[in-house]
Amino acid sequence: MDMVENLADLFLSSKGRISRKTFWIGVGALVAWSILVFIVLWSALGASLVQTFLGRLVGFPFELATIYFGYNLAAKRFNDRARPLICAAAGAGVAAVKSLLDLVRITGDPLTQTWLDELFILAGTGIALWYFLELGLMRGTVGPNDHGEDPEPERA
């Protein structure tokens, strides 16, 4: 039960701090979640229905949930680094707008890729690189900060 509570807190709350190790475990869990949802939707809807508006509409809530989970994971790392939550909202906001535009087929069609698709690719790549460096590699604030105790205490 404690593991389930910890996972729920990890993905459903932006409060507190997490270590880089916990961040990478969370990223792995989000990747596994995304693959599982894709396989289940693909199996349930079939290849031809997945690309229709109905298929995109069925998948849209799962995309939003994944964005929300990712936001909370990033927020905890930004808390650890004593950065404002707008940093986590930047990635979530870009992802949510892209998902909405994909839903209504303004973006996301590989056969008719537009400048807007390319803009989202550029923005997403920049944000991913920023998150990789700052959240995945850099140590958080040493000692306690406004968001709690240091999740990576100094080793003796």
In a domain, 148, yes or no: no
DSSP the chain: -HHHHHHHHHHH---S---HHHHHHHHHHHHHHHHHHHHHHHHHH-HHHHTSHHHHHHHHHHHHHHHHHHHHHHHHHHHHTT--THHHHHHHHHHHHHHHHHHTTSS--GGG--HHHHHHHHHHHHHHHHHIIIIIIS---SS-BTTBS-SSPPP-
pTM: 0.89
Q: How many domains, in total, are found in the chain? A: 1
pLDDT > 90: what percent of the chain? Answer: 72
Which range marks the domain in which residue 98 is found? 11-137
> 88 or 45, which is more confident?
88
In a domain, 155, yes or no: no
In a domain, 121, yes or no: yes
In a domain, 154, yes or no: no
In a domain, 145, yes or no: no
Q: What is the pLDDT of residues 94-142, one digit of tens each?
A: 999 999 999 998 998 878 889 999 999 999 999 999 999 999 999 999 9
In a domain, 131, yes or no: yes
In a domain, 59, yes or no: yes
How confident is the model at residue 155, as a pLDDT? 61
